[in-house]
Amino acid sequence: MPQPFATLEQAQQLGLLPEEFESIKTILGRTPNFTEMSIYSVMWSEHCSYKNSIAYLKTLPRESEKMLAKAGEENAGLIDIGNNLGCAFKIESHNHPSAIEPYQGAATGVGGINRDIFTMGARPIAQLNSLRFGKLEDERTRWIIRGVVKGIGDYGNAFGVPTVGGEVFFDDCYNVNPLVNAMSVGIVEKGKTVSAIAYGEGNPVFIVGSRTGKDGIHGATFASGDITEDSANDLPSVQVGDPFQEKLLLEATLEAIETGVIVGMQDMGAAGITCSTSEMSAKGNSGMIIHLDKVPTRQANMKDWEILLSESQERMLIVVKKGEEAPLLSVFEKWDLQCEQIGTVTDEPLLKYYMHGELVAEVPAESLVLGGGAPIYKREFKEPTYLEKIKAFQPEKVEEPTDLKAVMEHLIGHPNLCSKRWVYEQYDSMVGTVNMSTNFPTDAAIVNVKGTDSALALTVDCNSRYIFADPVKGTEIAVAEAARNIVCSGGVPQAITNCLNFGNPYNPEVYWQFVGAIEGMGNACRKFNTPVTGGNVSFYNQSSYEGPVFPTPTIGMLGLLENKEHAQTLSFQQPGDTIYIIGTSSNDLGSSQYLYSFHGEKFSSCPEFNLDEEFEFQQNISKLLRKYSIESCHDVSDGGLFISLIESCLENELGFSIETNKNFRVDAFLFGEKQSRAIISVSPEESELVEATLKKFEQPFERLGVVTDKSIVINHTDYGNILDFKNTFQESLGKLLS
């Protein structure tokens, strides 16, 4: 080839290790040129290859009789939800781009995850997100959150898919590196899905959608490094999105699938044309000849490697049956979208890229991809030194508050616990008319599956403070809480997708957190029979001057209500109803928001948790909700019992009168975050039967008190009116952001 050979220095500048450079030379039987080196640099980056995580990811439970696609082998997970329908769902991160350019970083994250869904032939019907930001006192944090929320809202609203749920969490560890995890969920008829595969010698290869520009070049490499003071110079790595173009692409893609001429299709996400051509070819044990000069571009004189690596948005790669191109061209012409043939499929498993007739790169497809020739590592890990502080924590030395009202006001107004109304009011939650939770608050979002009796229950969950304290137990809790939210909403957990956000994997203490989190996730998913259908690993979430973020393995869980009438609200319904807490309480204060922010205790143990106890608890809650007319059901989690009670009061502006268990500290009973608990409210007529049933189940419970008209009474002390608490709860975040 006329192009000069790449050098070791160039390889290292592109993020490749010296031993990886040698491996590439062995694979090719020669020294690669710069274009080939660029190809390997993105495909072997952490973002694309999962080289530092895949060995452990393979230990997770990945099979279920309800799975319609093998875990990780398609653009998204696919679960049988009955009625001849499948549900495609996935969560992914867009952390680094959002740290540098919040609006486009978040917007293109939404666009990318939705393309993963409709590329499989599923129509997206719901979105969720999990967001982590630094301290709100910092102007930069406020700039990031405003940009991220507006980016998610503008893209999702224009694209026409409702945002039905999510979570927002604040901590100083996210000051430099926010986390923006986006989840999309879609519905498809069984048998009408499309695979991300290429095969059939001579079958034409088309690029469809937007033109290719210089945005997003080396975005995968950018996402595989720490945030530094110079990261702003990497701004060209952030893509630019167009939700209106994506809407056209959605409709055109689904219509094109109906023609029956498509062999395979894949979204162009990280690494752009490079990724889609290599992964589709490797999956089909085939190759491709690609003419890069035929790719429609936005800028003149783009170089071959720029075209290959661009991560411009709203693009897809489609392989079509030879001789049957006309229906595809007709569909995309109808929707006024680019549809250009750029190559053909070959039987030889090589990727050959040409530019104006010149062969600029020739690489074996399988050598590039995860599960093929991409490297696999297990890094050194060791227990972090900060655990000594956690082990030294003495809960009995925490001073009990003399003013409970002050604690209540602190927690109700804390940005981690108060209403996220400022955020979700910027999202369209009703477009598509499938969201059943808007005026019927539930622990998990309930989404109608139109034309059936069924509904989906969707949630994203992770308390990263717990994982920081104990990665194994903390991640078990993350899975358990997701399942608990679905069960308390009337659903049955089906499967999960995950977004694994950690610091630098070459840091042994960070890698120890990652290994522990995978162990905990596997334990819990096996217990709840919720296989891992796929997801995303995001390492390098740290800065050179503030260190790694909390380990944050976000769990996106899919649940199913076979009958939508099983949906259960969390809201109290009328005064006089009896309030119960299901589960066992304790003096546990570990890692609670109360301990962390009110007392300033940053190093404490993970909350008490037992996986077997949680499983039995959830089984009993599910049976109880099916057997009786329970007025409300709400899990106890962040902020403890008190916050759960307040949240149950808000919708109907009711109050409660309860007595705490005298066997425990009042603050631990009210504000501790011991797991495997929920509050239910029951009409007086049902109370006796419910208690008898719980005793039959051998399920621990306590009668707490009753629902009141508006007053908040604890241990015979009146703490005020629910309207006062509601105002603080709903307005605090908006005030902090303004």
10, 34 Cβ separation under 8 angstroms: yes
390, 143 Cβ separation under 8 angstroms: no
Residue 395 CB neighbours (<10 A): 16
Cα→Cα distances 191→88, 117, 196, 250, 575, Å: 13, 15, 15, 19, 50
Q: How many CA atoms lie within 13 A of 415 on its CB side?
A: 21
Task: Find, among 399, 432, 304, the residue nearest to 359 by Cα.
Answer: 304
Q: Classify residue 229 as exposed, middle or buried by CB count within 10 Å of its CB (0-12, 13-18, 19+).
A: exposed
Q: Which two tokens stand for residue 600?
A: 């300033």
* Dist. CA 560–CA 347, nearest whole Å: 42
* Dist. CA 612–CA 705, nearest whole Å: 28
* Dist. CA 452–CA 436, nearest whole Å: 14
Q: Classify residue 136 as exposed, middle or buried by CB count within 10 Å of its CB (0-12, 13-18, 19+).
A: middle
- Residue in the block written with tokens 């752009």: 272
Query: Could you give the residue numbers annotated as active site?
Result: 47, 94
* Dist. CA 263–CA 270, nearest whole Å: 22
504, 542 Cβ separation under 8 angstroms: yes
What is the three-class DSSP state of 687?
A: helix
The string of DSSP codes covering 196-224 is S---STT-EEEEEESPB-STTTTHHHHTT
Q: Which two tokens stand for residue 65?
A: 């009789």
Give the CA radius of gyration of the chain. 26
How, if at all, do strands 123-133 and 163-170 pair? parallel
Task: Give the phi and the psi of residue 208 in degrees, each rounded to 5.
Answer: -130, 155
Under the phi-then-psi rule, with left for phi > 0, alpha for psi from -120 to 50, and beta for the rest, what region is 541? beta
CA angle 445, 446, 447 (to 5 degrees): 115
Task: Find, among 293, 265, 292, the residue nearest to 280 by Cα.
Answer: 265
* Dist. CA 181–CA 498, nearest whole Å: 10
Q: Classify residue 342 as exposed, middle or buried by CB count within 10 Å of its CB (0-12, 13-18, 19+).
A: buried
- Residue in the block written with tokens 């299709």: 265
108, 267 Cβ separation under 8 angstroms: no
* Dist. CA 170–CA 8, nearest whole Å: 42
Distance of CA 476 to the CA centre of its chain: 16
Question: End-to-end alpha-carbon separation of the chain, Å?
Answer: 59
- Residue in the block written with tokens 């160039």: 10
Residue 192 carries which DSSP code? -
Task: Find, among 60, 248, 34, the residue nearest to 159 by Cα.
Answer: 248
Q: How many CA atoms lie within 13 A of 511 on its CB side?
A: 16
Residue 29 CB neighbours (<10 A): 6
The string of DSSP codes covering 581-601 is EES---S--TT-HIIIIIS--
Q: Which two tokens stand for residue 269?
A: 């996400």
